[in-house]
Structure 1
Amino acid sequence: MPPPDTGDEVVDLILALGHQVRRGVNESLRAGAGLTLPRLKVLRLVAETGPLRLRDLASAVSVAPRTMTETVDGLEADGLVRRQIDPADRRAILLELTPEGKTTLETGRACASAAVRRFTDGLSADDRATLGRLLAQVRDNAAAVNTVPLP
């Protein structure tokens, strides 16, 4: 993949870093838990929120319901989630984690955390604080010029 070319070296570095972080975490998740970042996010949301309707889950991660259905189909085929009828509305389906899904989620969290730690291992506490402050400033500047807020 060619490097970004926004015309701003700092923004290009941020975009390239984001790509490398996602790639590294995805590789760690695939190898250690058989997951991807999107699948980990779905498992985490279901675990934290409890049984969810698919449309609410799709909305929470800002994807089309069809995309969420495909993701959930894969998670269900792998035995990580199950669909159940919503007792409050028999037309609706709720999604919940299976015991294997809970175990896989914990493994995935550990894999992601280990991968992320490797990205900043060489930074001192002061370097981390400075970088965090600077990145937060860039994030806030970007948020100020974007007209559509992130979910």
Structure 2
Amino acid sequence: MPDELDVDRLAMVVEDFNTIFIRLPSVRRYNFSTLSVLHTLGRNGPLRLTDLLPTEQLKQPALTALVARLEEDGLIQRRPDPNDGRATLLSLTRAGKQIVRSRHAERVKKLSRLVDQLTPEERAVLADSVHVLTRLTEIAADTT
């Protein structure tokens, strides 16, 4: 049946694409955990450290150390949580935002070069898939 979705094949294709996609930017190199924290704060921040734990797949001591390094490097800042004086919120500094923006711009540029090599039909299928991928991301976020 041609309409059936092979989820195993889909998972493999997504994994392969992600392997290529995360390496597209050739901007200043950072390790995966650093970039993940920066991108999470860029999309969802400001956040408490405890809010980062589920998304970053690090134990609290490792995440605490990473956040301290990012703060030392001037990429994130801490400020009091206006809703809870005992807690602090983490957010990107101007330099942190610039890293996230430049990585995104570089990805767009390099991904555009790849997309340009697709046929018009393939580009149309890809354009239609954006909605579906967005929806899958929303469903995943609602289940966590």
Task: Give the TM-score normalised by structure 1.
Answer: 0.61
Q: Find the counterpart in structure 2 of residue 26 from structure 1.
A: 22
The answer on 1:82 being equivalent to 2:77 is yes
- Measure the CA separation in 2 of the matches of 1:135 and 1:47: 21
Q: Is the Cα contact below 8 Å between 1:55 and 1:65 reproduced in 2?
A: no
Q: In 2, Cα distance between the equivalents of 1:136 and 1:103?
A: 27
Aligned positions, number: 135
Q: 1:46 to 1:90 in 2, by over 3 A?
A: same
Looking at structure 2, the residues matched to 43 and 137 of structure 1 have their Cα atoms a distance apart, in angstroms, of 26
* Structure 2 stretches lacking a partner, 5+ long: 1-5
Instruction: Give the C-alpha shift of residue 131 in structure 1.
Output: 4.6
**Aligned residue type for 1:98:** T
CA distance in structure 2 between the aligned counterparts of 1:26 and 1:16, rounded to whole angstroms: 15
Deviates more, 1:50-59 or 1:90-99: 50-59
Aligned to 2:3: none
User: Cα gap change, 1:135/1:41 in structure 2, threshold over 3 Å: closer, same or farther?
Assistant: same
Whether the 8 Å CA contact 1:21–1:116 is kept in 2: the answer is: no
RMSD (Å), alpha carbons = 3.8
Asked whether the equivalents of residues 24 and 115 of structure 1 are also in contact (C-alpha less than 8 Å), the reply is: no
The runs of 5 or more residues in structure 1 that have no matched partner are: 1-9, 144-148
Asked if the contact 2:33/2:56 (under 8 Å) is kept, the reply is no
Among 44, 51, 55, the residue aligned to 2:46 = 51
Other-structure match for 1:150: 140
| Aligned counterpart in structure 2 of residue 14 of structure 1, from 10, 19, 22 | 10
Q: What TM-score, normalized to structure 2?
A: 0.63
Distance 1:38 1:112 in 2: 18
Cα distance in structure 2, aligned partners of 1:74 and 1:21: 30
Report the CA distance between 1:82 and its aligned residue: 1.7
- After superposition, the Cα gap between the structure-2 partners of 1:72 and 1:18, relative to the gap in structure 1 and judged at 3 Å, is farther
Q: Which residue of 2 aligns with 1:109?
A: 104
Residue 120 of structure 2 is aligned to residue 125 of structure 1: yes
Name the SS of the counterpart of 1:129 in structure 2. Answer: helix
- The 3 A distance-change label for structure 1 pair 96 and 24 is same
Indicate the percent of aligned positions where both proteins have the same amino acid.
Answer: 29
SS of structure 1 residue aligned to 2:27: helix
Q: How far apart, CA to CA, are the structure 2 residues paired with 1:12 and 1:72?
A: 36
* Conserved? CA contact 2:24–2:110, under 8 Å: yes
Displacement after TM superposition at 1:48 (Å): 4.5
